[in-house]
Amino acid sequence: MAGSLDNFLHDPTDVGALGEEERKEFEEWVSKILSNPETISSMVEKALHDGMQSEWEEDSLGHKFKLGSYYPSLIERCLRLQAYSYLYPEPPSKEELAIFREGSAIHEIIALSLRRSGLVSVEGSEVVVDLVFNEEAKLHGRIDDLLLIRLSGESNSNFKLFVPLEIKSAQSLPDEPKPSHYYQLSTYLLAKKFPMGVLLYWAKRGGGVKAYPISRDDVMYSVLRERVFELHEALKRNDFPQKEAALNHDYFQCEHCGYLERCNPFLINSVSHGSKIALFDIDSTLLDPLPRRKAALRELGLPSTMRPSDIDNEETRETFWDLFNSPKFVELDTLIEQGRAKVYEQIELGRVPVGISSSRHDVLVEATRARLANLGISLANLILRENGNYDTDLRFKLKWALRLETNYTVSEYFDRDATTCSMVLKSISEVREKKSAKAGKA
Ligand code: SF4
């Protein structure tokens, strides 16, 4: 480009064409830049960031929230999260901006390649679609690409089919379509009565591609309608829908939610903010599950002294765990007397007792609560392992202690395992130190 720095530096005729004084001035200017080259690299970084930000702003202009019009791409996510994202849209972080731009670039590459292939034709991109449920509420989105497919070699080669294509870039290829993507594409299929669509994943790491065919499922219409109505009714009342992810114990979604602080999903309804808590590991300080384990082994005809890890047959091992985790056996758990005494002691000290267990599945919440109540122990809340959580025992307890500490003071932690106990207490005190250091600075 004429007049660019590159021209000045590498084209002697340009520099030579300058007058004496102008050349001197130019050389001074260049040496000034070279004495601080970071000015240029930061300018490039800033230009890139500003460009991406402006593209995002332009794109979000078309996404201004209108009551009654909801996004298919969000509809599977936590209802409370959706409400926050409509009412309190957050500007994207630098990382999110880069992901957004990367996604659009990948989309462009894919559309271009499909066009060049000659196998399918791309009939439209960003095709606007509405799935209307009533005069008040609808899902409103845009199909990434609308393909027109002709299959040669068939008896009637004139037949053509429109197939919506939804493109998703991910770090790695998923083993199956993600539920939120399935909901999104289902919306388009239902809205336009397309019999099928394709969900295409592009792996940013490794560059693999995987396309999943998705058939229209008419049952999805009522699933989507129920979700839209629940969200819409709450927003219409100037209210919020339920904290769905937290209620379903989908804490993974909460941990990755941009509204975690605003939502505060770890506040226990029955325990007021700021209370002092005494946390008890249920299975080592309050209840002994050994009789339950023995009963499950006996039911399978195995010696009651056997360790579950020693069950060779995989199917039998699975049946053992199903039995062990079935509510009917929980009443066999026996009381650890010192634990009960400790609970009363803590209540006397003004602390609210809360139970935690990484080895009990949350299907056992009610049965465990009932068993404890029968044994004279009433806990304000029970935190049991949710489905799909594979954290180690220590990680599970650490995470929860810190989650509780965001609303409460975890004053005591009881666990037969001394290492777990000291790690939990140490992490809590580190968090407190950080908090007070931050408060001191403010
Ligand atoms: S923190 Fe959890 S419950 Fe709250 S809005 Fe986010 S995902 Fe939903």
pLDDT band (50, 70, 90) for residue 54 = confident
Atom of ligand 1 lying closest to residue 246 CA: 3
Q: Is 348 helix (H, G, I), strand (E, B) or coil?
A: helix
Can you give the C-alpha Rg of the chain in angstroms? 30
- Contacts of residue 29, Cβ cutoff 8 Å, sequence gap at least 6: none
- Where exactly are the structural domains of the chain? 5-61, 69-244, 266-289+333-441
Taking only the tens place, the pLDDT of each residue in 87-118 is 998 887 888 888 888 888 888 989 899 988 88
Closest C-alpha to 410, from 392, 390, 424: 424
- Asked if residue 398 has its Cβ within 6 Å of ligand 1, the reply is no
Atom of ligand 1 lying closest to residue 251 CA: 2
Atom of ligand 1 lying closest to residue 257 CA: 6
- Contacts of residue 422, Cβ cutoff 8 Å, sequence gap at least 6: none
* Architecture of the domain whose range is 69-244: Alpha-Beta Complex (3.90)
Reading phi first (left if > 0) and then psi (alpha if -120 to 50, else beta), residue 163 is in beta
Reading phi first (left if > 0) and then psi (alpha if -120 to 50, else beta), residue 164 is in beta
59 CA to centre of ligand 1 in angstroms:
25
- Asked if residue 77 has its Cβ within 6 Å of ligand 1, the reply is no
Comparing 349 with 33, which gets the higher pLDDT?
349
Taking only the tens place, the pLDDT of each residue in 72-81 is 999 999 999 9
Strand partners, 215: 196
Token pair of 400, please? Answer: 């929860």
- Asked if residue 74 has its Cβ within 6 Å of ligand 1, the reply is no
249 CA to centre of ligand 1 in angstroms:
10
Q: Assess contact for 283 and 383: CB atoms under 8 A.
A: no
Report which DSSP code applies to 90.
P
Atom of ligand 1 lying closest to residue 84 CA: 5
- Asked if residue 83 has its Cβ within 6 Å of ligand 1, the reply is no
Give the separation between CA 46 and CA 227, rounded to whole angstroms.
Answer: 41
111 CA to centre of ligand 1 in angstroms:
35
Whether residue 61 is predicted with pLDDT greater than 70 in this model: the reply is: no
Fold matches, 69-244 and 266-289+333-441 = no
Whether residue 296 is predicted with pLDDT greater than 60 in this model: the reply is: yes
Atom of ligand 1 lying closest to residue 258 CA: 6
Whether residue 69 is predicted with pLDDT greater than 70 in this model: the reply is: yes
Nearest CA owner, ligand 1 atom 5: 81
Atom of ligand 1 lying closest to residue 253 CA: 7
- Ligand 1 pocket test, candidate residues 75, 76, 81, most atoms within 8 A of CB: 81
Taking only the tens place, the pLDDT of each residue in 111-156 is 899 988 888 889 988 999 999 999 999 999 999 999 988 776 556 6
HSE on the CB side for 346, CA within 13 Å?
26
Whether residue 8 is predicted with pLDDT greater than 60 in this model: the reply is: no
**Percentage above 90 pLDDT, the chain:** 68
Angle subtended at Cα 327 by Cα 322 and Cα 328, rounded to the nearest 5 degrees? 95
- Asked if residue 79 has its Cβ within 6 Å of ligand 1, the reply is no
Taking only the tens place, the pLDDT of each residue in 374-404 is 999 999 999 999 989 999 999 999 999 999 9
pTM: 0.82
Taking residues 167-175, what's their average pLDDT? 92
pLDDT band (50, 70, 90) for residue 2 = very low
Report the 10 Å Cβ neighbour count for 119.
11
**What value does the mean pLDDT of the chain take?**
90
410 CA to centre of ligand 1 in angstroms:
23
Largest CA distance in the chain: 101
* CATH superfamily of this structure's domain 266-289+333-441: HAD superfamily/HAD-like (3.40.50.1000)
pLDDT band (50, 70, 90) for residue 9 = low
Whether residue 260 is predicted with pLDDT greater than 60 in this model: the reply is: yes
Nearest CA owner, ligand 1 atom 7: 254
- Which of 54-58, 156-160, 279-283, 425-429 comes out lowest in average pLDDT? 156-160
What pLDDT, on a 0 to 100 scale, did the predictor assign at position 3? 46
